[in-house]
Amino acid sequence: MSTSVLYHAFQIEGVKCNSTSFEGRDIVFQAEIAGSYIRCPNCKSDDITFKDHKERRFHLPPMGRKQCFLNLLVHRTLCKTCGGLHWSHLPFMKGKSPLSCSFIRTALDLLSFSTIKSVAEFLKVGWDSIKDLHKDKLKLLYNRIEIKDIEYLSVDEFAIAKGHEYMTVFTDIRSGRIVHAVEGKDSKAIIPFLRRLYKKAVNLRGIAMDMSPAFYSAVKQELPHGI
C-alpha cells in the first residue's frame, strides 16, 4: 500500500516500502530499492557485487500539514561489466541533493505565486535550498540556449495576420523557450534552420510536429539520421 502511495503521490519509482512511521509532525516512509532497480547506473548491468550501504533521507512534498520523508537504504556496487563503482541512483534523485524531484516540483509551483522566504517556511527547509532551486529555474529560463544542448524540439506554425501570413516557430520542449522563428510555413522557410540543427544539434533526440506534409518531408530530408 505505502509503495503505491510513494509511486502515485510522490512519483517515487523503484523502491519497496517496508514501513511507515509517524514521528511528531512528520510522516516517514522506510524503504529499500526494489530488486529489479539494483543495477549499475552507468551501463545498467545487473551483474554487480555489493561493496557498501547507507541510509539516505529525502524530502517529499507535504501531506496536509505533515512533512514527509523517505528513508531509503542505498548501496555502493561494483559493476562486473564496466568496472564502475557507484552509489545507487533512481530517477527521483537529483545528484547528492536530499530533495526529491517531486519536492522540487512542488517548491517551484509554490514559487510561481510566493516568495522564497514563504516557500522555505511552508516547506520547512532552509532559505538557501529554495533560493538555489529558484536560481536553477531562472538559469533554465533565461540563459542563452545552445543548439548543441537541445534534446527535444517542437515545430509549429501560426497565423500572424488575417489571410495567409504565417510564422513557424521552433520551441525547446524542456524550457518552453522559442529558439527560432521564421516567416512562412513551407519547407523553404524551415530548411535553413534544419541545416543548422543537422550541423550543431548533436544531442537532438526528437522533433514534435503536426502532420504538415511540408514539415515532415523537410525534417526527413534534412535530418536523415532517424530523428
The nearer residue to Zn ion, 43 or 141, going by C-beta atoms, is 43
CA nearest 91: which of 12, 159, 197? 12
Options 11-19, 40-48, 108-116, 128-136: segment touching Zn ion (CB under 5 A): 40-48
Going by the DSSP 8-state scheme, the letter that residue 99 receives in this structure is: B
Backbone Cα Rg of the chain: 23
Our finding on whether 82 is near Zn ion (CB under 5 A) is: yes
Our finding on whether 84 is near Zn ion (CB under 5 A) is: yes
3 state DSSP class of 93:
coil
By rule CB under 5 A, what string of x and - marks binding of each residue 52-81 to Zn ion?
A: ---------------------------x-x
Our finding on whether 48 is near Zn ion (CB under 5 A) is: no
The nearer residue to Zn ion, 78 or 179, going by C-beta atoms, is 78
What distance in Å separates the CA atoms of residue 136 and residue 11, rounded to the nearest whole number? 21
Q: Exactly one of 12, 17, 27, 40 binds Zn ion (CB under 5 A); which one? A: 40
Options 34-42, 92-100, 116-124, 130-138: segment touching Zn ion (CB under 5 A): 34-42
Centre a 10 Å sphere on the Cβ of residue 171 and count the other Cβ atoms it contains: 19
Options 10-18, 66-74, 84-92, 170-178: segment touching Zn ion (CB under 5 A): 84-92
The nearer residue to Zn ion, 89 or 94, going by C-beta atoms, is 89
Our finding on whether 42 is near Zn ion (CB under 5 A) is: yes
What distance in Å separates the CA atoms of residue 210 and residue 227, rounded to the nearest whole number? 15
Q: Residue 67 forms beta bridges with which residues?
A: 26
Question: Could you give the C-alpha distances from 86 to 15, 48, 81, 89, in angstroms and in order?
Answer: 18, 10, 13, 8
**Residues forming the site for Zn ion (CB under 5 A):** 40, 42-43, 45, 79, 81-82, 84
